[in-house]
Amino acid sequence: MRVPDKIKQAIRDQYAWPGGYPLFLITSDGGALCVECGKKEYKNIVRAVRQDLSDGWNVTAVDINWEDSGLYCDHCNTPIKSAYGERETPCQSTES
């Protein structure tokens, strides 16, 4: 089994076209991976897909993170950007 072209394309470019929405990878065990980890761990992804492993690297889908501002990469624990979710803003003091 080969890594689907849709997954390869997401790893090459972390934004959907058209629209520029942020993409993330979904593994066979339901995990979420950021595209950066997909790039760094591509060899593990290829091996897992080809051998149909359940080792956390078997990427089965790509999706857009529409609104989940609490979605984190299961490998590096970095927040995965969302298209429309709340963005954290720095606390601004009202004191003068």
What are the pLDDT digits (tens) for 30-83?
999 999 999 999 999 999 999 999 999 999 999 999 999 999 999 999 999 999
**What is the average per-residue pLDDT within 16-36?**
94
- The pLDDT score that the predictor gives to residue 2 is 86
Residue 96 reports pLDDT greater than 60: no
Backbone phi and psi for residue 7, each to the nearest 5 degrees, phi listed first? -70, -45
Bridge partner residues of 26 (DSSP): 32, 61
